[in-house]
Chain A
Amino acid sequence: MSELTLFNYQFKAMGSPCQVQIYTTDKVTSKNIADAVIGDIVRLEQKYSRYNPKSFLSEINRYAEAGKSIEVDPETASLLNYAVTCYEQSDGLFDITSGALRKVWKFTQNSNTLPNPKYIDKALKKIGWEKVRWANSKLSFSRTGMQLDFGGIVKEYATDRAAAMATQLGVKHGLINLGGDIKVIGSHPDGRPWQIGIQHPQKKDDIISAIGLTTGGMATSGDYERCIMINGKRYGHILNPITGWPVQYFSSVTVVSDFCVLAGSASTIAMLKEENGTQWLTNLNLAHQWIDHEGNVGGSISAINK
């Protein structure tokens, strides 16, 4: 049996730095596998990008904007079904229709004023999964001006798919990292777990804790990467679709689960639940870690890793 070597492919996709790290016997094999895996990630980016007008999501959003109906393919249908479950489990906080709020809240460097509450109220009228009819692969928007956004689902789903695809192609040891959404394939060949550091939300180069994974996925939601400071107060980019305001309680939540997509939605739901998030995470019974705006750290991961 020939020796396994670690090959690391770095690329940019879905607006984030990404890595495919796989152990194979030779470079050609690793390149072929990485090409196939990255090909699928690029496919999903092109299909579900909000920014690419040619994407299928943009097409859906043109129908949403017009308040019309559109038929979707099975893959999109299963993502929508997944989003419905998140909506139900979060009591309406995880809502893929909250896109209209992004037009009101702009999280760019030079934003220094809060949006006019009148515009927030106006945007809220165009938000709410209950305003969408979804049955038999057909999406019908009951009013104009709505927008869908698969943020918090597609990148994580792409991570799980990439790992499954690599496994299918014979990889026994590897790691997929799409901008912090992680899925590992086994341990390192010598049995060591993959050490994954959780970034400190306020100090960019600091790692607050590290976790060893030999299986499963991990995802972090945080408002530290994109936020605005107005009158000394932080406003993060995670918006509550019911109030229309950024969530305030946590600065980051990390969840570990068998699948990255589940970890990703669980961490986002916890962020959205604010002060009720801690209890919700405990009830969820998945390994997790949270850091609030006062710098307090909690959750089952820190208990294991400190």
Chain B
Amino acid sequence: MALVEVVVAVTKKTKNTNSLAALTIATLALPGISPTAIAAEAEYFDLDSQFTRYSESNNRMKIDVYQANASIPFNDKFKLKINGVKDVITGASPIYYKPTNGQAKMQKSGASIKDVRDAVDISGNYIHSAGNVGLNVGRSSENDYDSTFFNIDSLLDFNQKRTSLSSGYGYSSDNVWAVDHCPSDYIYKGSQCASIPILTFPPGLIPQTFINNGMYRRPDVGGEKQTHQGLLGLTQILNKDALIQTNLTYTHNQGYLSDPYKDAYLEGATPLCFHNDCGTYVHDTRPTNRDQFATLVRYVQHFGALNAAAMHVDYRFYADTWGVDAHTFEFTWIQPIYAGWNLTPRMRYYSQGAADFYAPYFLSTRADGFYSSDYRLANFGAIGGGVQLNKEFFNRLNLGLGIDFYERKMNYGINGGAGTAEDNFSFSMFSAKINFKY
């Protein structure tokens, strides 16, 4: 109801019947007259720390994430933010799938993965009279991946802050490779782990490709890749309680876009042996170019009468030149309860169609030479949900606890394409968060 009125008010400003809508919108643009606006306006030195544990079912991956960031306001126009993340990944990940009695049978990574990622980034944000501009640069490294990136973004307010236009560009240059274990006491030599006891090497003559703990960098997979990303977004305040947001993202990747750890079963291929595990498989091989398009529509509605609750409804559509397309529906409800307690339940549904060159296993060669059995390129659907509980103390300290569940199933998907029930899995995620401002 109000939505229609406001749309009219914006186009025919001087009509009497729409005065209330026009005046209300102008009122809401005044700084600090609703309590939340004051909160956004105050500039604090802000410290944030978060711990998240993600664990998949069937002893697949487990990831622990420690994150801390500090936000330092220099004045009311300029703010600097430093963010650090440490991830520890353990567990096993699917490598490829063997056809067994007509069904795909997953072959997990033999040795368990243990990977540590360290990332740091710095961003600066400058507020000017018509909006703000930001620059973010960072670096992330782990034992099989490194990335250097930057992003610039800009937000412009116009139409008396009823409308804002955001735009951004990001670039990243990455290097990806695979590390693997040699059997204990053996080291990498030539193209395979040689059966030479490590003790036979005189000190100081251990080959360069030997990393540590018997890990070596595989020479047969990996490479460089570049990513360019552009974003254009529009936010429109509809009335004092509602807004709508849309954005469009375009991403171009080029370079080595395959997964260096994954292989695909190919009937009739020359058998390859690795760690005494022989099979007719080929390395995960994908095109060296990918163009991705995504669009998001978000509607936010506040309910003053329900103790200032808010509802977010999102829809996202994604498509890329590899033939993957996806729909995401998400619903979030933010409910302030009492005395600084907030409860935020959310629900999500995702459906994806498979990439053109995806199959759980391949019984014949493909003309284009691309093969992938990566479960992330398969046809599937997923249902997720979670709830977060927050409590604010003295307007300064915020503590949060969250739990999320996710279930992926091949037959939850509506998009179609190849897939396998072997990749059905679920995960749970717990998070704890502390935020302090002073």
Flag whether B298 is at the interface (Cβ < 8 A).
no
Q: List 7 A-B contacts (CB under 8 A).
A: A82-B29, A86-B23, A164-B32, A165-B32, A261-B30, A280-B16, A283-B17
> Which single residue of chain B is at the shortest CB-CB distance from A167?
B35
Flag whether A157 is at the interface (Cβ < 8 A).
yes
Docked-complex contact B27 and A283, CB < 8 angstroms: no
Docked-complex contact B19 and A261, CB < 8 angstroms: no
Docked-complex contact A89 and B22, CB < 8 angstroms: yes
Docked-complex contact B129 and A157, CB < 8 angstroms: no
Flag whether B14 is at the interface (Cβ < 8 A).
yes
> Which single residue of chain B is at the shortest CB-CB distance from A259?
B27
Mark contacts of A142-167 with chain B using CB atoms, 8 A cut-off: 1 yes-contact digit, 0 otherwise.
Answer: 00000000000000010011001101
Residue from A79, A136, A168 in contact with B39 in the complex, judged by beta carbons closer than 8 Å: A168
Residue from A75, A157, A165, A284 in contact with B19 in the complex, judged by beta carbons closer than 8 Å: A284
- Supposing A167-B35, A262-B23 touch, asked if A283 and B129 sit within 8 A by C-beta, the answer is no
Docked-complex contact B130 and A168, CB < 8 angstroms: no
A294, B25: Cα distance in complex, Å: 35
Docked-complex contact A78 and B39, CB < 8 angstroms: no
Residue from A82, A136, A164 in contact with B35 in the complex, judged by beta carbons closer than 8 Å: A164
Beyond the given A84-B26, A161-B38, A285-B20, could you list 18 further A-B residue pairs with CB under 8 A, ordered by the A residue number? A79-B30, A81-B26, A81-B29, A85-B23, A86-B26, A88-B14, A89-B13, A89-B22, A89-B23, A157-B30, A157-B33, A164-B32, A164-B33, A165-B35, A165-B38, A169-B395, A265-B23, A284-B19
Flag whether B37 is at the interface (Cβ < 8 A).
yes
Query: Taking beta carbons and an 8 Å cutoff, which residues of A are in contact with B?
Result: 74-75, 77-79, 81-82, 84-86, 88-89, 91, 136-137, 157, 160-161, 164-165, 167-170, 258-259, 261-262, 265-266, 280, 283-286
A160, B17: Cα distance in complex, Å: 25
A285, B18: Cα distance in complex, Å: 10
Closest Cβ of chain A to B118, distance in Å, is: 38
Chain A residues within an 8 Å CB radius of B29: 78, 81-82
A284, B19: Cα distance in complex, Å: 6
Chain A residues within an 8 Å CB radius of B37: 164
> Which single residue of chain B is at the shortest CB-CB distance from A169?
B395
A165, B38: Cα distance in complex, Å: 7
| Number of A-B residue pairs having CB atoms within 8 Å of each other in the complex | 87
Chain B residues within an 8 Å CB radius of A164: 32-35, 37-38
Docked-complex contact A77 and B129, CB < 8 angstroms: yes
Closest Cβ of chain B to A43, distance in Å, is: 11
A169, B32: Cα distance in complex, Å: 13
Ranked 10 nearest A-B pairs via Cβ: A85-B26, A137-B129, A160-B33, A167-B35, A81-B160, A89-B19, A82-B26, A168-B38, A164-B35, A262-B27
Docked-complex contact A283 and B240, CB < 8 angstroms: no
Docked-complex contact A136 and B30, CB < 8 angstroms: no
Docked-complex contact B27 and A261, CB < 8 angstroms: yes
Chain A residues within an 8 Å CB radius of B240: 258
- Supposing A136-B129, A157-B30 touch, asked if A88 and B22 sit within 8 A by C-beta, the answer is yes
Flag whether B302 is at the interface (Cβ < 8 A).
no
Closest Cβ of chain B to A193, distance in Å, is: 16
- Supposing A161-B32, A168-B395, A262-B27 touch, asked if A286 and B20 sit within 8 A by C-beta, the answer is yes
Docked-complex contact A136 and B130, CB < 8 angstroms: yes
Flag whether B190 is at the interface (Cβ < 8 A).
no
Docked-complex contact A78 and B31, CB < 8 angstroms: yes
Which among B14, B20, B27 has the greatest number of chain A C-beta atoms within 10 A?
B27
Chain B residues within an 8 Å CB radius of A78: 29-31, 161
**What range describes how many residues of B lie at the interface?**
20 to 34
Closest Cβ of chain A to B77, distance in Å, is: 10
Docked-complex contact B160 and A85, CB < 8 angstroms: yes
A262, B19: Cα distance in complex, Å: 11
Which among A91, A261, A262 has the greatest number of chain B C-beta atoms within 10 A?
A262
Docked-complex contact B30 and A168, CB < 8 angstroms: no
A246, B401: Cα distance in complex, Å: 62
Docked-complex contact A75 and B23, CB < 8 angstroms: no
A165, B23: Cα distance in complex, Å: 22
Chain A residues within an 8 Å CB radius of B14: 88-89, 91
A79, B161: Cα distance in complex, Å: 12
Flag whether B321 is at the interface (Cβ < 8 A).
no
Docked-complex contact A168 and B35, CB < 8 angstroms: yes
Flag whether B24 is at the interface (Cβ < 8 A).
yes
Chain B residues within an 8 Å CB radius of A136: 129-130
Chain B residues within an 8 Å CB radius of A85: 22-23, 25-26, 160
> Which single residue of chain B is at the shortest CB-CB distance from A165?
B38
Docked-complex contact A82 and B16, CB < 8 angstroms: no
A229, B25: Cα distance in complex, Å: 39
Docked-complex contact B129 and A74, CB < 8 angstroms: yes
Chain A residues within an 8 Å CB radius of B22: 85, 88-89
Chain B residues within an 8 Å CB radius of A259: 24, 27, 33
A259, B39: Cα distance in complex, Å: 18
Chain B residues within an 8 Å CB radius of A262: 23-24, 27
Chain B residues within an 8 Å CB radius of A82: 26-27, 29-30
Residue from B13, B34, B39, B395 in contact with A170 in the complex, judged by beta carbons closer than 8 Å: B395
Chain A residues within an 8 Å CB radius of B26: 81-82, 84-86
A234, B90: Cα distance in complex, Å: 85
Which among B13, B33, B129 has the greatest number of chain A C-beta atoms within 10 A?
B33
Docked-complex contact B32 and A74, CB < 8 angstroms: no
Chain B residues within an 8 Å CB radius of A258: 24, 240
A161, B38: Cα distance in complex, Å: 8
